[in-house]
Structure 1
């Protein structure tokens, strides 16, 4: 289990991570989502002991990462696919990892095969690897110690569709066998397929978290109209508060039938009326993280 309690990280006056708390339980994949600069990588680095938190704590099975004996046997980490020594072969990278962890190097070939790197690829220098091959090697490195926990930051970058499908199956199988996976990714549709739980972060703070089905099923109703003022007045009379998204639609915490009947009775013409959950994770993510449009940011 991964436990994160009130993690905060400040750099001068900038608060990169602000009071973040969540847990990742055995047998689950937790999708850790947020736009660029939201604080995902900083949070993961704090969990792995690479960045000291300003306040708060994190633990793996109740023990801070820095205090784990032979941590690679407990936690497999992939935060940067380019972090391997470029002058070593893929086989050498894994062999050195095995030796460092006190493991038999006989397992190296099996791990390479497991991530789809054949004998020819294993003999090549890492500098000659594509990004996708480096991701596969990084995942093999994370798995070399047979850990119970995986912490992966954008592991699908550089993978082709077949590779993404393969990784999805590998991580799902890992969790189904009792492992714990914390997965950061911008591939929202892939996360939606594989994740059991979701944690969404923005500007360093948790925006929402919980079981995937619960979060997506409780999204409410997406409404669009040519007369926003009339819709606002209708919602006010109904005692409801709508949240306007960046695309102009309004998210209403009610069911489509109730909203549709009330709009028809009030003469409010609707251009769109549907369960917000129909848009899945992508719509929920965009709604939660909606910010200034590009032209506003450049001003």
Structure 2
């Protein structure tokens, strides 16, 4: 279990994380989504004791990270896959970590196998690793202590499509076994397949959160027509909320309702699609854009 309560981080007059609260339950994967600079990494650094909070707190398994007796055995963390000694081999990196958390050399070989690093790759110097190999090594280090909780920042960065598919399966199995996963990303599609719940953040604030199904159902209907201005007027006259995005109009109504209004008034539709991942993406872009405008106006 991860519990975040009113977590805030300020640097002088700049607020990087602004009073965020959410939970990650055992047996679930939570996608922590937001654009670059939204505050995801700062929030995760506060959760893992690397950055002190200005106010609020985060607990893992009921304690702050610093209070955990042996955090490496309880929480697997990967915040920066490049933060590995370039002169050591992948196997040496894990063996040093194994000593610090108190696990055997046999466990090192187990996690190397789990993340798909071969004997030859494990024997290479980390400076010669590709970004994808560094990501796999970082995930191996996070799994080393057989933790109950995983906190991973952009773990799919640098992985090819096959690697992303592998990672999703790994995290799903971990959660299905009772583990707790917090997975950050600035790419919605990267986590939507594996995540149970989503927390969306923009300019340090939570702009939406809930189950994936709930947020998908709020994705609305995207529509484009030959006369969007007229269609907006018709929808607003019918009491249907509508907003403009870069790819058309997002309407808070079922596609059937929008289609019927357009047909009755002979407005030609070029596109009409319901909710789904693309609708969620449009909603997210709209929410983070609104947050950005509020911040600029402040």
**TM-score normalized by structure 2?**
0.92
Tell me the equivalent position of 2:244.
Answer: 244
C-alpha separation in 1, matches of 2:228 and 2:162: 44
How far, CA to CA, are the matches of 1:87 and 1:220 in structure 2?
A: 51
Partner in structure 2 of residue 297 of structure 1 = none
Matching of residue 77 in structure 1 with residue 84 in structure 2: no
Once the two structures are superposed, the pairs formed by residues 17-28 of structure 1 within 5 Å of their partners are 17-28=17-28
Q: Name the structure 2 match of 1:103.
A: 103
Q: CA RMSD in A?
A: 2.0
| Alpha-carbon offset, residue 111 of structure 1 | 1.2
The 1-side partners of 2:170 and 2:183 are apart by 13
Helix, strand or coil: the match of 1:222? Answer: strand
The match for 2:181 is 181
| 2:62 is the alignment partner of 1:65 | no
| Contact in 2 for aligned 1:220/1:253 (Cα 8 Å) | yes
Q: 1:280 to 1:257 in 2, by over 3 A?
A: closer
Single out whichever of 211-220 and 40-49 deviates more from structure 2.
211-220
* Structure 1 runs (4+) greater than 6 angstroms displaced: none
Gaps of 5+ in 2: 292-298
Q: Which range moved further: 228-237 or 158-167?
A: 228-237
Q: Partner of 1:6 in structure 2?
A: 6
C-alpha displacement at 1:196, in angstroms?
0.8
| Structure-2 separation of matches of 1:25 and 1:7 | 18
Residue 281 of structure 1: CA displacement? 4.4
- Shift in Å at residue 217 of structure 1? 1.9
Stretch of structure 1 that moved more, 82-91 or 218-227: 218-227
Deviates more, 1:107-116 or 1:96-105: 96-105
For each residue in 1:145-173, what CA deviation from the matched residue of structure 2 results, as whole angstroms up to 9, or x when unmatched?
00010000111111122211111111111
Paired position in structure 1 for 2:53: 53
Task: Give 2:296's aligned residue.
Answer: none
Say if 2:33 and 2:187, in contact at 8 Å, map to a contact too.
Answer: no
Where does residue 286 of structure 1 map in the other structure? 285
How big is each residue's C-alpha offset from its partner over 1:11-50, in whole Å with a ceiling of 9 and x where there is no partner?
1111111111111111111111111111111111111111
CA apart distance, 1:266: 3.5
1:296 maps to what in 2? Answer: none
Deviation at 1:206, TM superposition (A): 0.8
Number of matched pairs: 292
Q: Distance between the aligned counterparts of 1:291 and 1:5, measured in 2?
A: 24
Counterpart for residue 295 of structure 1? none
Distance in 1 between residues matched to 2:238 and 2:287, nearest whole Å: 24
Alignment partner, residue 41 of structure 1:
41
Deviating more after overlay: 113-122 vs 263-272: 263-272
The one-character-per-residue Cα deviations of 1:169-225 (angstroms, maximum 9, x if unpaired) are 111111111111111124432312111111111111111111111111222221223
Report the TM-score when normalising by structure 1.
0.91
Deviation of 1:88 after TM superposition, in Å, equals 1.6
